[in-house]
Amino acid sequence: MPSRATMERPAAAIPVEKDPDVLAAAARMAGEDLCSIADLSSAEVRAILKLGREVKRSPAEYRHALDAKQMVLMFEKASLRTRLAFETGINTMGGNAIFVDQTNSPLGERETIADVARNLERWCDVIVLRTYAHDTITEMAANARVPVINALSDFEHPCQALADFMTLEEHFGAVAGLNFTFVGDGNNVCHSLMLTGAQLAVNVTVATPRGYSPDIEIVTIAREIAAKNGVEVRLLQDPQVAVEGADAVYTDVCVSMGMEHESTKRAPIFRPFQVNEALMSKAKPTAVFMHCLPARRNEEVTDAVIDSPQSIVFDQAENRLHAQKALLLLLLGGLANVEVFSSANRPSACAPGGFQTRVL
């Protein structure tokens, strides 16, 4: 794998209000959807993380950025971090969140998704969905004239991956060239982590039992992105080999929501993939442990690891708020309402143009 030492070091920090990645993302992403990490360019992923760090550092600067914006969350699955991070996020930027519990009435059952979309777009500025079928999210996006955000589907979990790599940047600085290892089920979280890591020039290794590898479509896309960024995506079936030299070791439950009927079957298959002290000892001494939560303690990870100084799982959880606030700001054109952005990019007599976003 390409060494981190060989990767180009980042230039001196540019103020976020002048950062070309952030300004370009603000112009391109306003009014768009986020169904998949693959919807974003590498520069847009970087922009979300940069803006997330700034929002975290100076939340008061953004307290009126989304004044009067209405967000609806429609969730078919239970949620703690995703729901509260979105609700807290928009509320602290001047907007409002409306939660609709769909756990007993899946979207598309009572009326068509297209009809739901055509109603929601008349009342709300953004639609946040947490669903089983990924097609539910893409169909809503195809029919709604307001942004649709994937807050988890059976295929991807982009908001989680953005927060995770924001957390890695906080811990390591620049993440380009890091060695990131995912151990466990090649599931929705794994898919988004692969894509995000590839976008950020991170070497990604995935270790899964035979028959539980990530989706080949995602693998192909991630490898194409990784090749352009000078890194690689590896698929292995030996967790011991996979974690050797890792800077970050990540795992998730081996039985995702909706797959509970497979618990008995999966338990012995995934037992050798448990992240314990012995497995972590094969990673670098400075390696961190990561988990999207909720964790099934002493199943996919031991208490000794998740509660160790190497664990950054609650930093990941905290950063769900800041990464999702950054995403909302970009999709809803909120930076135009932030003084530091509007003043820094205000047109002058000799410099036409300036900070612009699409009108939603």
Burial of residue 83 (CB within 10 Å: 0-12, 13-18, 19+) is middle
Interatomic CA distance for residues 235 and 247, integer angstroms: 17
Tell me if residue 33 is catalytic: no
Tokens standing for 358?
Answer: 């699409």
List the structure tokens of 3.
């060494």
- Tell me which residue of 236, 246, 235, 234 sits closest to 288, measured CA to CA: 246
Gap between the Cα atoms of 26 and 334, Å rounded = 9
Q: Active site includes 160?
A: yes
From the list 46, 134, 157, 191, the catalytic residue is 157
The catalytically annotated residue of 190, 320, 322, 324 is 320
Distance CA 159, CA 195 (A): 12
Counting beta carbons within 10 angstroms of the beta carbon of residue 347, is it exposed (0 to 12), middle (13 to 18) or buried (19 or more)?
exposed
As a whole number of angstroms, the distance between CA 350 and CA 360 comes to 29
Residue of 134, 292, 310, 316 with catalytic role = 292
Torsion angle, alpha carbons of 105, 106, 108, 110, to 10: -10
Reply yes or no on whether 252 is catalytic: yes
Q: Is 157 a catalytic residue?
A: yes
Q: CA-CA distance, 38 to 189, in Å (whole number)? A: 14
Q: Which among 86, 46, 83 has a CA at the least distance from the CA of 69?
A: 86
Which one-letter amino acid corresponds to residue 350?
C
> Which residue out of 19, 21, 154, 252 is catalytically annotated?
252
Catalytic residue among 102, 124, 154, 160: 160
Query: What span, in angstroms and rounded, lies between the C-alpha atoms of 126 and 31?
Result: 9
- Concerning whether 130 is annotated as a catalytic residue, the answer is yes
Pair of tokens at residue 127:
């639609």
Angle at 31 between CA 340 and CA 199, to 5 degrees: 80
Peptide bond before 294: cis, by omega within 30 degrees of 0?
Answer: yes
Check 46, 53, 130, 223 and give the catalytic one.
130
CB atoms within 10 A of CB 111: 10
Is residue 292 annotated as part of the catalytic site, yes or no? yes
Strand partners, 170: none
Residues 6+ apart with CB under 8 A from 344: 15, 17, 18, 355
Active site residues: 130, 157, 160, 252, 292, 320
